[in-house]
Amino acid sequence: VRWLRRWFSASAPAPALTPALRRRIRLSFEHAAADEQHFPSSIDPRIFHVRLILDQLAAINPAAVLDAGCGKGRFARLVQQQFPQSRVVGMDIAEAMLRHVPHPVLRCSGSLTSLPFASSCFDAVYATESLEHAVDIEGAVAELCRVLKSGGRIIVIDKNAEHFGRLQTPEWERWFGRKELEDMLAKHCRRVESRFISYWEDVEPDGMFLAWLGEK
Ligand SMILES: C[S@@+](CC[C@H](N)C(=O)[O-])C[C@H]1O[C@@H](n2cnc3c(N)ncnc32)[C@H](O)[C@@H]1O
């Protein structure tokens, strides 16, 4: 039935991000924060998703970094450790997630579709498996790029639309085509690329996860 779910999801119009839907999404993640197994507060630093982000940041030695949809801050913790002089901000829609974000990462409550930051204030922005929940994807991508400085880096790690149906997902969740998200980013970035990734550097990617990299 996977192709059927994929077909329905691809042909269904994107739902509107009404206040009621935003509230439902927020409450679902407030609740999910208690589920440490599926929403862990730490991550093995050898996992390639972490290494890719750290490598991208090392290239620009960022003064300010935004983890957009940070959850419990498992990536932000490692970013802060690697770049102790940087101001690392973890932003999420769910307060219960933010409570786990470790000091000295700065916590901030907000939504991907209306980021509570001034334009051009971050050297790097990354979003790991959070953009898929933003509903208004174009709007969220525009916001992520708005708060990025010129020359700054954006990294999005999310799942490939071609594999939609492989996991149980809430009805608002969207996965992205490789070119689809490249094109969205290209509206705001002068350089965009994407690649398939797996958890481990020596394991061939199975096509499920993609990393999109942009330079504004
Ligand atoms: C699957 S979790 C990933 C969390 C984290 N990035 C990680 O990899 O551990 C998705 C996160 O996105 C957050 N989220 C969902 N919709 C959001 C929105 N519109 N704005 C900000 N955060 C959002 C959720 O609260 C949740 O913490």
Three-state DSSP at 63 gives coil
Closest CA to 112 of 97, 98, 127: 127
Cα 73 to ligand 1 centroid, rounded to whole Å: 10
Residue 5's H or E segment, with its range, is helix 2-11
The answer to whether residues 44 and 154 touch, using CB atoms and an 8 Å cutoff, is: no
Predicted confidence (pLDDT) per residue in 43-56, tens digit = 999 999 999 999 99
- Helix runs in 147-216, H state only: 178-186
- Which is the closest atom of ligand 1 to the Cα of 67? 6
- Which residue has the CA at smallest separation from atom 26 of ligand 1? 71
- Which is the closest atom of ligand 1 to the Cα of 140? 19
How much is the pTM? 0.95
DSSP designation for 62: -
- Which residue has the CA at smallest separation from atom 10 of ligand 1? 130
The strand pairing partners of 35, in sequence order, are none
The Cα 62–Cα 58 span in angstroms is 8
Query: Rounded to 10 degrees, what is the CA torsion of 133, 134, 138, 144?
Result: -110
Q: From first to last of its 216 residues, what are the pLDDT tens digits of the chain?
A: 565 565 555 556 678 999 999 999 999 999 999 999 999 999 999 999 999 999 999 999 999 999 999 999 999 999 999 999 999 999 999 999 999 999 999 999 999 999 999 999 999 999 999 999 999 999 999 999 999 999 999 999 999 999 998 999 999 999 999 999 999 999 999 999 999 999 998 889 999 999 999 999
- Which is the closest atom of ligand 1 to the Cα of 112? 20
The pLDDT score that the predictor gives to residue 201 is: 85
| Residues found in the chain | 216
Pairing mode of beta strands 106-109, 122-128:
unpaired
Cα 200 to ligand 1 centroid, rounded to whole Å: 23
Structure tokens at 43: 């991550």
Ligand 1 lining (C-beta closer than 6 Å): 25, 29, 69-71, 74-75, 92-94, 97, 111-113, 128-130, 133-134
Predicted confidence (pLDDT) per residue in 134-158, tens digit = 999 999 999 999 999 999 999 999 9
- Which residue has the CA at smallest separation from atom 16 of ligand 1? 133
